Amino acid sequence: MQRCCGITRGRARCSNGARYETTICNATFKVCKHHQNKRLLSGWEREISRRETVELPGQDEVPLDVERWVHLFHEGWDNTKNIYVSSNFATAIFRHHDIANYNFDKKHKLYTSIKLNSGPILDTCGICLEDRRVYRTECDHAFCKNCMREWLLRATTCPQCRRIL
Ligand SMILES: [Zn+2]
Ligand SMILES: [Zn+2]
Ligand SMILES: [Zn+2]
């Protein structure tokens, strides 16, 4: 059975099996009986309410398009089964309105490039330890794009200093 995608108070993934479904903003999620109550999907609720408005460069604050965010979250979830990755993924790219025709792979490439601050330069990648064209994260650690794409499917932190990217 699939695992429930609800979140516990400690922000961990619920360990129950998912026999039920709940729908948030037209996206359907497999959940356990406990998490069928929408209010108990507290991680997402918090994530969404924390981001009621967003600032876009050169514009005033605009309301967060929650439905769009949840759809991207759902797409991230389908492909990674990781609640933190999905949430970061949705938050990073939901304001890019030109990605409607992108498949997940292309969206994830965009997500990765957002997380890489500058580059490329020729240097040693912190993951594969090869001399490659590498890009620097905000915390100033350097990785090649292939390694970083793989890494960001499973984690939201820098592989070297564990800072959240
Ligand atoms: Zn659950
Ligand atoms: Zn590498
Ligand atoms: Zn780092």
116-165 falls under which CATH superfamily? Zinc/RING finger domain, C3HC4 (zinc finger) (3.30.40.10)
> What span, in angstroms and rounded, lies between the C-alpha atoms of 31 and 22?
7
Mean pLDDT value across the chain: 83
Residue 44 parent element (H or E): helix 42-50
Instruction: Output the CA 124–ligand 3 centroid distance in Å.
Output: 14
Find out whether 70 and 51 touch, Cβ atoms under 8 Å: no
Residue 133: closest CA among 122, 143, 141, 125: 122
Examine the pLDDT at 64 and tell me if it is beyond 80. Answer: no
> What span, in angstroms and rounded, lies between the C-alpha atoms of 15 and 12?
9
Residue 29: closest CA among 9, 58, 37: 37
Examine the pLDDT at 142 and tell me if it is beyond 90. Answer: yes
Instruction: Output the CA 115–ligand 3 centroid distance in Å.
Output: 11
Identity of the residue numbered 96? H
Examine the pLDDT at 149 and tell me if it is beyond 90. Answer: yes
Q: Which residue has the higher pLDDT, 161 or 71?
A: 161
> What span, in angstroms and rounded, lies between the C-alpha atoms of 37 and 141?
41
Q: Which ligand is nearest to the CA of 20?
A: 1
Q: Which ligand is nearest to the CA of 116?
A: 3
Instruction: Output the CA 151–ligand 2 centroid distance in Å.
Output: 10
Q: Which ligand is nearest to the CA of 123?
A: 2
Using the 8-state DSSP alphabet, how is residue 140 labeled?
S
CA distances in angstroms from 117 to 79, 113, 145, listed in the order given: 24, 8, 12
> What span, in angstroms and rounded, lies between the C-alpha atoms of 119 and 122?
9
